[in-house]
């Protein structure tokens, strides 16, 4: 069983070293692919060096900040080329607990896409300001109603795909970033008939570094769900 964890990074030097070490201490047989967008803080250089000493670590450098969506699409292509069995999306900032990786791998045994979910067992988010929690919570209710995809945390960035899902969804048609990207990938997996499930996780806001979330990314996600809705209506 070959497992790849894709981690997009933009200025994560305070987190990346500890995250990679923690992941290998929990699950030594995984491979890690970092997609770094020319971080100015040395994240890319650090991982590059590490990749020379440890075959389990790979890095793709991009010239500038190009967004989460295209970073993951590049990572997915790499995963397909190399023929991994399971592919994770994971943030670099410890919001996603490395201890949940083996739990997600266990759960994916009886589905095709497993989502680390903040809203499937009440609300399990720690340390977010109330404004951000409310935005995310209601955005997810809105996205679920508009798209009709029965998943409570459509914007989660912690998930594990069977490779056949990445091969089966129209990646070239997905152009959004951030939350929109997360909604679109789940939407397509669901629409293409793959078995999508949620597993409750505890999400903790980052302690180190800063968020790269922007208003544009929220607006993009707001509109993307209507495009998906229109698609659903036309195809049925």
Q: Is 155 in the site for Mg ion (CB under 5 A)?
A: no
Work out the end-to-end distance of the chain between its first and last CA atoms, rounded to an integer number of angstroms.
37
**Cα separation, 165 vs 84, whole angstroms:** 12
Q: What's the CA angle centered on 211, arms 130 and 45, to 5 degrees?
A: 160
- Closer to Mg ion at the Cβ: 89 or 91? 91
Q: How far is the CB of 109 from ligand GDP (least distance, A)?
A: 27
Cβ within 8 Å of residue 213, ≥6 positions away: 178
Q: Compute CA 33 distance to the chain's CA centroid, rounded to the nearest angstrom.
A: 13
| Candidates 66-74, 119-127, 139-147, 221-229; binding stretch for ligand GDP (CB under 6 A) | 66-74
Residues 154-183 that bind ligand GDP (CB under 6 A): none
Check binding of 95 to Mg ion (CB under 5 A): yes
In the list 6, 12, 118, 184, the residue contacting ligand GDP (rule: CB under 6 A) is 12
Q: How far is the CB of 125 from ligand GDP (least distance, A)?
A: 11
- Please choose, out of 30-38, 45-53, 73-81, 188-196, the segment that lies near ligand GDP by the rule CB under 6 A: 30-38
- Dist CA 5 CA 50 (whole Å): 16
Which residues, 97 to 126, sit near Mg ion by CB under 5 A?
Answer: none
Closest-CA residue to 170 (of 155, 180, 185): 185
Q: Which CB contacts under 8 angstroms, 24+ apart, belong to 133-139?
A: 135/218, 139/179, 139/218, 139/221, 139/222
134 vs 137: CA distance, rounded Å: 5
91 contacts ligand GDP (rule: CB under 6 A): yes
Structure tokens, 125: 């988010």
Does 93 interact with Mg ion (rule: CB under 5 A)? yes
Residues binding ligand GDP: what is the number (CB under 6 A)?
20
In whole angstroms, give the CA distance from residue 75 to residue 69. 10
198-217 residues in contact with Mg ion (CB under 5 A) are 206
Q: Tell me which stretch binds Mg ion (CB under 5 A): 16-24, 86-94, 138-146, 185-193.
A: 86-94
Any contact of residue 10 with ligand GDP (CB under 6 A)? yes
Q: Which residues bind ligand GDP (CB under 6 A)?
A: 8-10, 12, 35-37, 65-68, 71, 91-93, 95, 206, 211-213
Q: Which residues bind Mg ion (CB under 5 A)?
A: 91, 93, 95, 206
């Amino acid at each position: 069983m070959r497992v790849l964890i894709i981690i997009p990074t933009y200025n994560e030097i305070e987190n990346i070293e500890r995250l990679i070490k923690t992941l290998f201490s929990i699950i030594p047989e995984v491979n890690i692919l970092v997609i770094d967008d020319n971080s100015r803080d040395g994240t890319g250089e650090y991982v590059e060096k590490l990749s020379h000493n440890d075959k389990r670590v790979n890095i793709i450098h991009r010239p500038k900040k190009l967004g989460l969506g295209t970073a993951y699409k590049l990572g997915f292509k790499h995963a397909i080329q190399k023929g991994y069995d399971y592919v994770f999306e994971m943030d670099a900032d410890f919001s996603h607990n490395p201890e949940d990786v083996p739990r997600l791998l266990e759960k994916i045994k009886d589905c095709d896409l497993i989502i680390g979910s903040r809203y499937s067992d009440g609300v399990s988010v720690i340390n977010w300001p109330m404004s951000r929690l409310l935005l995310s919570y209601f955005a997810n209710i809105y996205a679920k109603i508009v798209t009709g995809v029965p998943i409570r945390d459509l914007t989660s960035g912690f998930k594990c795909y069977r490779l056949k899902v990445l091969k089966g969804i129209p990646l070239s048609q997905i152009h959004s970033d951030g939350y929109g990207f997360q909604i679109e990938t789940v939407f397509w997996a669901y629409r293409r008939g793959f078995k999508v499930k949620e597993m409750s996780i505890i999400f903790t806001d980052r302690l180190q570094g800063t968020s790269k979330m922007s208003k544009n990314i929220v607006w993009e996600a707001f509109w993307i769900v209507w495009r998906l809705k229109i698609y659903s209506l036309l195809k049925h």
